[in-house]
Structure 1
């Protein structure tokens, strides 16, 4: 049972980071500052922060015209949520 809570904490952490870096990159874009790379955005999304990154994309209206983000993040989010639910069903 303790392992489940570790997974929950990990998912919360990665999703907060995914959401935050979307906001940070949007702020940097508006201020014409050095940007966070798409590679970094995808890294945090793939390692568990897909939902946070997707919600950040929608909330901050950032990367919404990029097909990879527009379609990739929702698909990644569904896969990650499905795996997360599967952990709790066992």
Structure 2
């Protein structure tokens, strides 16, 4: 059985900065997923929309949430010019995340 003291020690070993970064990354991905869903909803209502440029930047900042938003909401998946740019932004975002994780692992 795991006690609270053991969990606290494990979290302290990892470091609060690392835990904070993971939480921020998760929240950003949830936010971007929501933005893609909101934009798809607005597309059906013919209202104000998020520009493609902003959606692509969000894909760089939170690639998992952006990709999940595109897939789940089927948003911008028929537009080939957007899809290839989204793939490039996704790869850049994954590289950014990998750099952050690698930097955290090196920073002791």
> Does the pair score TM above 0.5?
yes
1:82 and 2:95 correspond = no
Flag the structure with larger Rg.
2
2:64 to 45, 51, 71: 51
Question: Which ranges in structure 1 are unaligned for 5 or more consecutive residues?
Answer: none
Superposed, which structure 2 residues align to 1:29-40 within 5 Å? 29-40=43-54
In the other structure, the counterpart of 2:73 is 60
Question: RMSD value over aligned CA atoms?
Answer: 2.0
Using the alignment, how far apart are the partners of 1:54 and 1:73 within structure 2? Answer: 10
Q: TM-score, normalised by structure 2?
A: 0.68
Question: Which ranges in structure 2 are unaligned for 5 or more consecutive residues?
Answer: 1-14
* Structure having greater relative contact order (Cα 8 Å, sep ≥ 6): 1
- Map Cα deviations across residues 35-61 of structure 1 (whole Å, 9 max, x no partner): 112232233333x31110111111111
- CA 1:41–1:19 in 2, change beyond 3 Å: closer, same or farther? same
Higher alpha-carbon deviation: 58-67 or 79-88: 79-88
